[in-house]
A and B are shown apart, each in its own frame.
Chain A
Amino acid sequence: MSTNLLFELFLSTGETLYMVFASGLLAMLLGLPLGVLLFSTRQTNLLPMPLLNKSLSLMVNMARSIPFIILMLAIIPITRLLVGTSIGTSAAIVPLSLAAIPFFARMIENNLNQLPSGLIETGLAMGGSTWQLIPAILLTEALPGMVGTLTTTLITLIGYSAMAGAVGGGGLGDLAIRYGYQRFDASIMILTIMILIVLVQGIQHLGDYWAKRLNHH
């Protein structure tokens, strides 16, 4: 294997990590409030807004219904508007985030649903307001579960980023297709797969470690 190829492998790994973590960060920043909103607007004694809840839920479901590869192509005009181009690693972040935000939000909602039901009423009985309860009780108690959610989201994004690579997004997926598939270079194919396995293992391991550390049950 030439040094040139090795450099390309190194670069692709970097591109994949960039896409995954940038869109993961966006998913967290936008998906977390959305998830909290999905949960709290359904609670009769927290932030009851059934109409908003139903519309948000519908939007999340709609976004999640679209297969990623189609979503990516469908929103090309939006991507071009936001990033200036629809090709390349940075452009791939737009559809990746758009797919990850509703996914992350729904999983956060699930994390919050799993909390003991008495916690909200306990917080209210203490004289806490909705905006005090959300950070002090809901987010604190759901933190270990939310770390798990972040882990799963990042791993899902690794898979999606390979798809983005197929349409010119760069990254390991792109490399595997160009060299491994189109030029029949099995060693590149195997190598990219191995790097992907290491990435997934690493993220899962780190996520599990933190979830366990934060869990005081």
Chain B
Amino acid sequence: MIELINIAKIYNSLVTPVYALRDINLTIRPGEIFGIVGQSGAGKSTLVRCINLLERPSLGQVWIAGQEITSMKTADLRLIRRQIGMIFQQFNLLAAKTVYENIALPLKFAHYSPSKIQTTLAPLLKLTGLTDKQHAYPAQLSGGQKQRVAIARALASQPKVLLCDEATSALDPQTTQTILQLLKDINQRLGITVVLITHQVDVVKSICDRVALLDQGSILEVADVVSFFTAPKADLTKKFVSLSLKHELPLLLQKRLSTQKKQNSHAVLRIIFKGQAATEPLIAHVMHEMGIHLNILQANIECLKETILGIMVVEVIGDQTPLPQGIDYLTDKGLQVEIMGYVDESIV
């Protein structure tokens, strides 16, 4: 649906050119929800604006639904933009226009007749739950309602793609969830490809199919959401993921963890369960049948889209000799086991 080929955005400064984006190659498939994450200043906003050419890339090509748009004339580009809806962190609604007039604007630009606008908008108002609010002005709405108006407006011209620029970053956690639910609903019901950029990891976890990590203008990693969180490859992804999944040990315990195995030291393991494995009593088996005594230091269950993910940090108490067998057993069963380090005595 969207293909970015060798995209670079270069700003010329006096001393050296500054790369806001470099060597971006990305394919976003039709119908998927694709997340682009990264710290602030990583280039996320610039990247998403390159998709509808609100920012012109300095190099490279952008393909939308099989059409190369970077070399298009302005008039043709406007037609393409009608197929790409966009919503923003600050909603960007027109304060002087009612909800209805706001949503109707893209259709007015496309020269729809008032009656055609009405028939197009009625189902959209219903989908976004705004039918009652259509005559209100944006100032009378809550943040969540404002973003709904922005979503309805972005969908008015029946686009194939919806770009979300930090769309939930100005909303409280509860409202964020309802907006994400709406986006997911739209994605499933209308088959619209959704690209969302965010620094909120929870957003990615709850709705994205695939994720890309952007750092200093380059894509470090692209993966489906489960692999992204369970088997991150790049160092920064690991950091990003562990921070977000909260399976780093508290600092106090981390300090006592050493990489050196000594006599009588205890191993500390991180065990990650995915899907089916999370429902089997595997830990109980290791403890009872193999004689490995585990002390749970931290445990957490995460939901990644439809996949259940369990993360547990345990300390192996007492006899360490059966440990390799235990790790093999758990790995065989599809769990991820990682030795985080060793501690001299029980760390709790």
A183 interface residue per 8 A CB criterion: no
The answer to whether A127 touches B86 (Cβ under 8 A) is no
Contact with A along B66-94 (1 / 0, CB 8 A): 00000000110011111011101010101
Known contacts A121-B54, A125-B84, A127-B157, A132 near B109 by CB under 8 Å:
yes
Of the candidates B81, B88, B97, the one whose C-beta lies within 8 Å of that of A127 is: B81
A187 interface residue per 8 A CB criterion: no
Known contacts A122-B86, A132-B109, A140 near B94 by CB under 8 Å:
yes
Of the candidates A118, A122, A216, the one whose C-beta lies within 8 Å of that of B95 is: A216
A85-138 at interface with B (beta carbon < 8 Å)? 116, 118-119, 121-129, 132, 136-137
- Chain B residues with CB under 8 A of A143: 96
- Chain A residues with CB under 8 A of B153: 126
Q: Besides A124-B81, A129-B74, 14 other CB < 8 A contacts?
A: A45-B54, A121-B49, A122-B86, A124-B54, A126-B106, A126-B153, A127-B106, A127-B109, A127-B110, A129-B75, A129-B78, A129-B109, A143-B96, A216-B96
B301 interface residue per 8 A CB criterion: no
CB-defined A-B contacts under 8 Å, sample of 23: A116-B90, A118-B90, A119-B92, A119-B94, A121-B49, A121-B92, A125-B52, A125-B84, A126-B81, A126-B105, A126-B106, A128-B106, A129-B74, A129-B75, A129-B78, A129-B109, A136-B105, A136-B109, A137-B94, A140-B97, A216-B96, A216-B139, A217-B95
Q: How far is the CA of A129 from the CA of B108 in the complex (A)?
A: 11
Contact with B along A205-217 (1 / 0, CB 8 A): 0000000001011
Which residue of chain B has its CB nearest to the CB of A143? B96
Interface residues on chain A, number (Cβ under 8 Å): 23
A141 interface residue per 8 A CB criterion: yes
Which residue of chain A has its CB nearest to the CB of B75? A129
The answer to whether A140 touches B96 (Cβ under 8 A) is yes
Which residue of chain A has its CB nearest to the CB of B83? A127
- Chain A residues with CB under 8 A of B88: 118, 122
* Total cross-chain contacts (CB, 8 A): 72
User: Interface of B with A (CB < 8 Å)?
Assistant: 49, 52, 54, 74-75, 78-82, 84-86, 88, 90, 92, 94-97, 105-106, 108-110, 137-139, 153, 157, 163
- Chain A residues with CB under 8 A of B110: 127
Q: How far is the CB of B161 from chain A (nearest CB, A)?
A: 11
Q: How far is the CA of A174 from the CA of B284 in the complex (A)?
A: 103
Known contacts A124-B54, A128-B78, A136-B108, A118 near B94 by CB under 8 Å:
no
The answer to whether B54 touches A118 (Cβ under 8 A) is no
Q: How far is the CB of B342 from chain A (nearest CB, A)?
A: 53
Q: How far is the CB of B140 from chain A (nearest CB, A)?
A: 8
- Chain A residues with CB under 8 A of B138: 216
Q: How far is the CA of A21 from the CA of B181 in the complex (A)?
A: 56
Q: How far is the CA of A136 from the CA of B84 in the complex (A)?
A: 20
Which residue of chain B has its CB nearest to the CB of A126? B106
Which residue of chain A has its CB nearest to the CB of B93? A122
The 3 closest A-B pairs by CB, nearest first: A127-B82, A126-B106, A127-B81
Q: How far is the CB of A157 from chain B (nearest CB, A)?
A: 27
- Chain B residues with CB under 8 A of A119: 92, 94
Q: How far is the CA of A127 from the CA of B80 in the complex (A)?
A: 8
Q: How far is the CA of A119 from the CA of B97 in the complex (A)?
A: 13
Of the candidates A45, A125, A129, A137, the one whose C-beta lies within 8 Å of that of B86 is: A125
Q: How far is the CA of A144 from the CA of B138 in the complex (A)?
A: 16
Known contacts A125-B54, A126-B105, A118 near B157 by CB under 8 Å:
no
Q: How far is the CB of B80 from chain A (nearest CB, A)?
A: 8
Q: How far is the CA of A123 from the CA of B110 in the complex (A)?
A: 12
Q: How far is the CB of A144 from chain B (nearest CB, A)?
A: 8
Q: How far is the CB of B234 from chain A (nearest CB, A)?
A: 31
The answer to whether A128 touches B109 (Cβ under 8 A) is yes
Which residue of chain B has its CB nearest to the CB of A144? B96
Q: How far is the CA of A22 from the CA of B232 in the complex (A)?
A: 71
Which residue of chain B has its CB nearest to the CB of A45? B54
- Chain A residues with CB under 8 A of B75: 129
- Chain A residues with CB under 8 A of B105: 123, 126, 128, 136-137
Q: How far is the CB of A153 from chain B (nearest CB, A)?
A: 21
Known contacts A45-B54, A136-B108, A216-B139, A126 near B82 by CB under 8 Å:
yes
Q: How far is the CA of A121 from the CA of B105 in the complex (A)?
A: 14
Most buried by B among A122, A126, A132, A217: A126
